[in-house]
Structure 1
């Protein structure tokens, strides 16, 4: 309904562009007063030049007449009777262009503006899919396959995304985006189709995601999909580390919040060392030791004795924990040493 109102407004403006020049008829001449003065001056000078009694003044009259003629030549031509018709025709052409462009661009974009960013992006991806698919199938170029795959993936057309990214990897097997997205699609294909995939297929799909994360370790989506993949294989600690890294790389990303919460709860229940860490350290150093207010404990190079001393007595902004039980301290130090060996 709103789009129809917008089109009506555009058409009314177009009609005004056509009708107004015709209604006014002869177009106004903005230089009319100046033009009339110069014409009158020219005619008066010509009359004086034609009079025999003015022979003595002829050189002066001729100079003045020449200046008047140059001034007339410098004015824009006066609109003729056909000026209104020409402007109306121009208005008709302009109106047709405006209406046509609005029909295919302004109205769709105005409609998309009522959607949120993700919905609008999905709609645009769906609309572009046929053209992108045709271009990729014709050119068989890597860039066109990747563009088709992105549009298909973003719009939820996963069968097309599988085909597009598969073809792109045949041309260049070291493309992180294609690797991780193809891997996660293969890994979750059973949920999409209702057909169970084999253990071998799951392992191969996970390998694609892992490879992508190795090729692009600082890409947020690499860590996000790696975290989901590791969680599916029961590797909760590594999954949490990948998802925490995703949150560090993309602070506004909320895609993994529920899984992160579930993994934290699962790990704290099953690992007493993580329970100690969660109670005393996680608020500053991050739930998985990756850093927060305090530095990353995974990147730390401190010895076991140095760590124990800092935990007991504090250092800088870090508070001391003198009342920590010896058994809990041992569990915590074992955990921190394991993280140091695993690294970031």
Structure 2
């Protein structure tokens, strides 16, 4: 932080010098500038007084000879001065000043791009700060990867590009990394999901062959790294894309188990459960209100497993209606809705985990 402030201060100081130095040079290029300015002001003042004289006023006419004499002396004094370096003053220094302004602007912009975002990182959450840094680092990481053509450099470039949403660069980087080492789960699953979702980004229809290839990449990554949360998350998204809802729920539940704080699967799980539960009002209600915490099938997630619960029906009714701990209250459920939920949880308790 201190180093950034010092460097930005130097940038601003340099900008000021670049702008003011040519202007100072312009002022000092005419040794008679001060005398010339005073005489010009006196000349203009006398001309103003002469033009204001009233020819019909005897007093004004009495003043005219003296004013004309003084104006003539002023003009003679101006003529006696060395010619003013008008060309040098009007072109050279101004051109230099303009160049200074442009260079100062470039330095200021460069300083802002380089330093200011790093100050602003303090106001961002961890994920947003990481994305900003990824964008700032992209040119350097890309140059390093293209220079060394090393697997680690391509992976670093690919990760920064993917995390910052620069997907065209991520495709290139991960593609080159897989050419060097084909069994890299991160590159496989991210390349697969980018290929699978390319239709949304490019408006180009995804071919069956490309879709199959994308699914293969994602499944291979999950097999190589089954305990990696992102492997299971992207696998779940891929299964859902192909309409395999049961397999998608299994993968997304594994993701939630591996990353209990992760919320990326919540909407997908809820949408799948809603599709599956169109014929059962209790399941629809559970999917909309409970599945994000207790899991799509009651097996637990952020909240405890309902299948492993030993609470009585009366105790469950009280918890649902009044809430408990992190569990919010649902006091506005109708009797039919509440009884439907209790029947569902009762069935799960009998089935067990």
TM-score range, shorter chain: 0.5 to 0.7
Whole-Å separation in 2 of the counterparts to 1:296 and 1:318: 9
| Change over 3 Å in CA distance of 1:105–1:159 after alignment to 2 | closer
| Change over 3 Å in CA distance of 1:155–1:223 after alignment to 2 | same
After the TM superposition, which residues 281-292 of structure 1 pair with which residues of structure 2 at under 5 Å, given as runs? 286-288=295-297, 290-291=299-300
TM value normalised by structure 2: 0.52
Whole-Å separation in 2 of the counterparts to 1:290 and 1:168: 39
| Change over 3 Å in CA distance of 1:175–1:295 after alignment to 2 | same
Deviation at 1:296, TM superposition (A): 10
Residues 237-284 of structure 1 show CA distances to partners (whole Å, capped at 9, x for unaligned) of: 211221122122112211222111111111122689978998xx9899
Whole-Å separation in 1 of the counterparts to 2:114 and 2:156: 21
2:140 equivalent in structure 1: 131
Aligned length, in residue pairs: 221
Contact 1:241 1:290 (8 Å CA) reproduced: no
1:177 equivalent in structure 2: 186
Deviation at 1:316, TM superposition (A): 8.6
1:155 matches 2:148: no
| Change over 3 Å in CA distance of 1:275–1:118 after alignment to 2 | closer
After the TM superposition, which residues 300-311 of structure 1 pair with which residues of structure 2 at under 5 Å, given as runs? none
Whole-Å separation in 2 of the counterparts to 1:316 and 1:263: 24
1:248 equivalent in structure 2: 257
Whole-Å separation in 2 of the counterparts to 1:282 and 1:319: 20
Deviation at 1:317, TM superposition (A): 2.7
Residues 205-241 of structure 1 show CA distances to partners (whole Å, capped at 9, x for unaligned) of: 0111111111111111111111111111001121122
Match of 1:110 among 104, 119, 124: 119
Match of 1:205 among 191, 194, 214: 214
DSSP 3-state at the match of 2:248: helix
Return 5+ residue gaps in structure 1 as ranges: 15-101, 298-314, 321-327
List 4+ stretches of structure 1 deviating above 6 A.
8-11, 102-106, 271-278, 281-285, 293-297
Whole-Å separation in 2 of the counterparts to 1:209 and 1:9: 45
Contact 1:245 1:290 (8 Å CA) reproduced: no
RMSD (CA atoms): 4.1
Deviation at 1:110, TM superposition (A): 1.4
Return 5+ residue gaps in structure 2 as ranges: 14-110, 314-342
1:235 equivalent in structure 2: 244
TM value normalised by structure 1: 0.53
